[in-house]
Amino acid sequence: MSIAARTHSSATPALRVLNLAGIEYSIHEFEHDPAVRRYGARAAEALGADTDRVLKTLMVYVDEEPVIALVPVSGQLDLKALAAATGGKKARLAGVAETERRTGYVTGGVSPFGQRQTSPIFLDRSVHEHGTVFVSAGRRGMEIELRPDDLVMLTNARVAKIAALD
């Protein structure tokens, strides 16, 4: 675990979860430009990371039950594949207000850790192609870098092909 994480002055619920778990991770901060709406692409650019290593956290309803999907910024969530992975039939993206209310995070800063209301998490299988990946730390302009296996373990994620990658 990074020392900066333990003493970070603006610890988010996501960072508190990671600190309690005692796993190794790194925090990366960058200047957030409020005019930018492609949060994941901006994070990848600011971090100098490949867009297939930076994950976006999306809230989705499958048969009207909420789930969280984590897919690389380099691709798009495949709603049909996610529905199939959950055993459901129909999936739709949640709206901004729904996502913010359920997760407790603002759009562009939604972390898979420390959400207000927990939901099953599905992770695209492509993450295992990398030694580390990035997810939001719960605030725009702050990312957590960690090993994919730690991400799966801490979120109890189910891994499946749920993204159409570029």
Q: What is the pLDDT of residue 5?
A: 42
C-alpha distances in Å from residue 130, one per residue of 12, 50, 72, 151: 25, 10, 11, 12
Q: What is the pLDDT of residue 64?
A: 95
Q: What is the pLDDT of residue 7?
A: 44
Q: What is the pLDDT of residue 65?
A: 97
From the list 39, 10, 11, 12, the residue with the least C-alpha distance to 105 is 12
Distance CA 141, CA 92 (A): 27
Q: For each of the chain's 166 residues, which pLDDT tens digit applies?
A: 443 444 454 689 999 999 999 999 999 998 877 777 778 888 888 899 999 999 999 999 999 999 999 999 999 999 999 999 999 999 999 999 999 999 999 988 999 999 999 999 999 999 999 999 999 999 989 999 999 999 999 999 999 999 998 7
CB 85 within 8 A of CB 107: no
Q: What is the pLDDT of residue 10?
A: 60
Domains of the chain (ranges; CATH) run 3-165 (3.90.960.10)
**47: DSSP letter:** H
Distance CA 30, CA 15 (A): 16
The structure's pTM equals: 0.90
